[in-house]
């Protein structure tokens, strides 16, 4: 298992790489290029510079999160083959610099959705929350609120230029239902997985966040059955999963422990995002501190499912709260994520020693 933390690069992240290195047990950072338009090939000189920075700080960069998928691939537009060719070249380029896992998602229009990016907890810390009444508004209003509340940071998957035309984008998805979106995912995977096999890279799809339909959009990565179907349809170890405990548990019908155990056993869990959430009522929730007592997930069971089934992939804490006066990119402060790392590694050490 390799413990990592997500780093948004020298321009977009105010946390210096050295600070990640100082978190006990952190071996690598998970990075991405944020100045390459979605759909373009990632140039080798930029990859080299990015990976080189991590190495210079004594950290690995073997996981990329994310190489985002162009809408034309998700929609199945005629131009998709060009974007798929670009994606294949990006995979080859990343492999050349030691990248082993590519995390991505297949959510239409935008990435994760939260309705409150500065939700105040009783102890005064700030976190992100999703409450259903927050999406009972017009699409433009919801998009505007997310963008206005991002504390001035660019949010991957929420590119303002793209979302300025959100209605047009929605219209392009008008005849894309779950089945069509699924076919488009499989078309993409059938094309890129052979390249991954050849160059030793693993694809790892991230679950939808939230894992159910919002604004009538199709959703195909929402539960155990969806994840199994994805693994089975393109049946290669290079076609795997990023299991995000926070995202998948946003649907209380999902058994996160069973999903983790099964995917690990099958050798398809390449990357784990481990965070806790607290269900407020129905499907409303906020992202809590990592320890079990603060949220709805039993983090010991989460780590045990990984441990007992021989997990050997990459792992990172997911979002953290803002504590100790820290401000910045919602979900990605240093302090609370560092506490998460320490806690998760503590559970892991206990699991290791208990078996001796
Ligand atoms: C992440 C997602 O910050 C987050 O919420 O968990 O944005 C994740 O990076 C993407 O969905 C993966 O493509
Ligand atoms: Mn995640």
Q: Which atom of ligand 1 is nearest to the CA of 206?
A: 12
| Residues 83-111, mean pLDDT to the nearest whole number | 97
Please indicate whether residue 112, judged by its CB atom, sits closer than 6 Å to ligand 1.
yes
pLDDT at residue 263, as a whole number: 98
CA dihedral over 103, 279, 158, 15, signed as positive or negative? negative
292: number of CA atoms within 13 Å, CB side? 7
The pLDDT of residue 192 is: 98
- Asked whether the beta carbons of 129 and 115 are under 8 A apart, the reply is yes
> Is residue 95 scored above 90 in pLDDT?
yes
Ligand closest to the CA atom of residue 331: 1
CB–CB of 73/104 below 8 Å? no
The atom number, within ligand 1, closest to the CA of 209 reads 11
> What ipTM does this complex have?
0.94
CA of 112 to the centre of ligand 1 (A): 6
Q: What is the pLDDT of residue 154?
A: 84
Run of H or E residues at 315: strand 314-317
Active site residues: 206, 244, 273, 318-319, 332
The confidence score (pLDDT) of residue 157 equals 85
Ligand 1 within 6 A of 83 CB?
Answer: no
pLDDT at residue number 300: 98
Atom of ligand 1 nearest to the CA of 332: 3
244 lines ligand 1 (CB under 6 A): yes
pLDDT for the residue numbered 177 = 97
Q: Is the pLDDT assigned to residue 39 strictly greater than 90?
A: yes
Both tokens of 115, joined, read 């309705």
Encode pLDDT of 190-216 as tens digits.
999 999 999 999 999 999 999 999 999
pLDDT at 166: 86
Cβ of 275 below 6 Å from ligand 1: no
Q: What is the pLDDT of residue 162?
A: 85
Question: In the chain, which ranges are continuous DSSP H helix?
Answer: 9-12, 17-21, 44-56, 71-75, 80-96, 139-148, 160-163, 166-172, 178-199, 224-233, 245-248, 256-265, 299-308, 335-354
Please say if the pLDDT value at position 3 is more than 90.
Answer: yes
- Give the right CATH number for 2-355 from 3.40.1350.10, 3.20.20.150, 3.30.70.2190, 3.30.365.10: 3.20.20.150
Whole-number Å distance between alpha carbons of 161 and 168: 12
* % of the chain exceeding 90 in pLDDT: 86
* pLDDT, averaged across the chain: 96
> Is 90 exceeded by the pLDDT of residue 179?
yes
Cα separation of the two ends of the chain: 18
pLDDT digits (tens, 9 = 90+) for 101-146: 999 999 999 899 999 999 999 999 999 999 998 888 888 888 888 8
pLDDT at 235: 98
Question: How many Cβ atoms from other residues are within 10 Å of residue 39's Cβ?
Answer: 19
**Does ligand 1 lie within 6 Å of residue 109's CB atom?**
no
Residues 6+ apart with CB under 8 A from 33: 9, 42, 46, 47, 50
Three-state secondary structure call for residue 61: strand
Give me the pLDDT at residue 351, please: 98
What pLDDT is recorded for position 20?
Answer: 98
d(CA 343, CA 180): 41
- For the stretch 227-237, pLDDT in tens is 999 999 999 99
Taking only the tens place, the pLDDT of each residue in 222-274 is 999 999 999 999 999 999 999 999 999 999 999 999 999 999 999 999 999 99
Q: What is the pLDDT of residues 141-158, one digit of tens each?
A: 888 888 888 888 888 888
> Domain boundaries in the chain?
2-355
| Nearest CA owner, ligand 1 atom 5 | 112
Neighbours of 171 (CB within 10 A): 10
Please give the distance, rounded to the nearest whole angstrom, from the Cα atom of residue 286 to the centre of ligand 1: 16
- pTM for the structure as a whole: 0.97
Q: What is the mean pLDDT of residues 56-83?
A: 97
In the predicted structure, residue 45 carries a pLDDT above the cut 90 = yes
């Amino acid at each position: 298992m390799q413990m990592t933390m997500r780093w948004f690069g020298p321009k977009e992240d105010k946390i210096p790489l050295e600070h990640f290195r100082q978190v006990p047990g952190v071996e690598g950072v998970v990075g991405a290029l944020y100045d390459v338009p979605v759909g373009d090939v990632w140039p080798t000189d930029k990859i080299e510079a990015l990976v080189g920075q991590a190495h210079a700080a004594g950290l690995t960069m073997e996981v990329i999160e994310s190489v985002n998928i162009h809408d034309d691939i998700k929609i199945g537009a005629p131009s998709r083959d060009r974007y798929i060719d670009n994606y294949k070249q990006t995979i080859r380029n990343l492999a050349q610099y030691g990248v082993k896992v590519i995390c991505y998602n297949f959510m239409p229009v935008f990435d994760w959705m939260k309705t409150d990016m500065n939700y105040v907890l009783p102890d005064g810390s700030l976190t992100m929350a999703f409450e259903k009444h927050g999406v009972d508004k017009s699409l433009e209003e919801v998009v505007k609120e997310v963008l206005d509340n991002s504390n001035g940071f660019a949010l991957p998957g929420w590119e303002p230029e793209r979302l300025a035309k959100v209605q047009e984008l929605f219209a392009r998805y008008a005849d894309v239902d779950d089945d069509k979106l699924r076919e488009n995912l499989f078309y993409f995977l059938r094309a890129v997985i052979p390249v991954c096999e050849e160059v030793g890279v693993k694809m790892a799809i991230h679950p939808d966040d939230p894992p159910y339909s919002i604004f009538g959009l199709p959703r195909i990565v929402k539960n155990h059955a969806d994840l199994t179907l994805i693994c089975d349809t393109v049946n290669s170890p290079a076609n795997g999963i990023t299991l995000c405990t926070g995202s998948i548990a946003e649907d209380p019908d999902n058994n996160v422990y069973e999903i983790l155990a099964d995917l690990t056993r099958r050798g398809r869990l390449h990357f784990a995002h481990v965070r806790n959430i607290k269900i407020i009522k129905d499907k409303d929730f906020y992202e809590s501190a990592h320890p079990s007592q603060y949220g709805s997930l039993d983090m010991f069971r989460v780590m045990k499912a990984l441990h007992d089934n021989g997990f050997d992939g990459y792992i990172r804490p997911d979002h953290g709260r803002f504590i100790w006066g820290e401000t910045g990119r919602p979900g990605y402060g240093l302090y609370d994520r560092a506490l998460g790392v320490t806690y998760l590694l503590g559970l892991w050490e206990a699991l290791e020693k208990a078996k001796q």
